[in-house]
Amino acid sequence: MFDALKLKNTLLDDYSKLKHLGGWQAVADLYGVGKTMVWRIANTDYIPKDQTIRKKLGLPVSAQVFPVMGEILNGSAAPASRICPHCGNFFIPNAGKRRKCYVCVPYRDRKLDLL
């Protein structure tokens, strides 16, 4: 999240420097990604999901997570995380409809001892 915000500001800085030397295409060439991609990251809240593009832009391709129940084995793959609108913590949803974290809305009514 914070890496994405830093990238957004970096891209806007790059654009202001390269505005007269090709604009967004010049910025895109700098990172080796598409023009639309850099514009979209800089001007919207979009964060690229593709690992190849994330590497090119310097975004992390792995993250440290902590289990709230059970075990998460080292190197486990997970879909994208979300931000809980209630408390602001990051979490990985167990289902597509889940919008709040496991602390705010416990999984199957189990109370969690954390945070």
Residue 98: CB atoms within 10 A of its CB come to 15
Binding flag, residue 112, Zn ion (CB under 5 A): no
Binding flag, residue 104, Zn ion (CB under 5 A): yes
* Binding residue (CB under 5 A) for Zn ion from 69, 86, 90, 94: 86
Three-class DSSP labels, 90-114:
EECCCCCCCCCCCCCCCHHHCCCCC
Comparing CB distances to Zn ion, the nearer of 21 and 83 is: 83
The footprint of Zn ion on this chain (CB under 5 A) covers a number of residues equal to 5
Binding flag, residue 87, Zn ion (CB under 5 A): yes
| Contact indicator for 69, 113 with CB cutoff of 8 Å | no
Query: Which residues of the shown chain bind Zn ion in the complex (CB under 5 A)?
Result: 84, 86-87, 101, 104
